[in-house]
Amino acid sequence: MERLWGLVVPGHSRLGLVTGRCRALLARAAALAEEREPRVVVFSGGAALGRRSEAEQMLDAWPGRRDVELVAEPSAATTSQNAARTLPLLLERGVTDAIVVCAPLHAARVAYLFRGVYAPFGVRCELALARALPTPPALAWELGALTVVRRQRRSALAELQPHG
């Protein structure tokens, strides 16, 4: 069976504007797009304070190749929503393997959420880490988020179940 690759870039913003850390994620994803020739690159992240969404801002800032489909998923507000809301976009395009680009500090939670959401639907998931130094606020955020990660994964999976 042919393996079809997709790249997923969850957003990172401050006050609704993409950050230097987010630009590092984009640079890493662009380098991967040169190596792996993905079917699609999906940018995921919602809007804040009436601004354009993180996903739309990342799409505008994309430094990579333009001969691949670029898709903005503008509604996710959390990492679990990034996973739940990017999966259908990958499945619609026949993607079997996804690479999620994240900062090293975010990797454990991204792996738990994305692999836990993608695997039941047959999409393999690996991580690619961008260069990003941890900051005290980012560390505090990740430690706090660990307290709700299991509930968030259940919620993400529930979001993907057909309602009927």
Locate 77 and state its tokens: 């507000």
Answer left, alpha or beta for residue 77, where phi above 0 means left and psi between -120 and 50 means alpha. alpha
**pLDDT computed for residue 155 by the predictor:** 95
Mean pLDDT by 10 residues, the chain (164 residues): 91 78 95 95 88 92 96 95 98 98 94 97 97 81 87 95 70
Contacts of 133 (CB under 8 A, 6+ apart): none
Enter the pTM of the model. 0.92
Is CATH 3.40.50.620 the classification given to domain 5-160?
Answer: yes
Contacts of 164 (CB under 8 A, 6+ apart): none
**pLDDT computed for residue 95 by the predictor:** 98
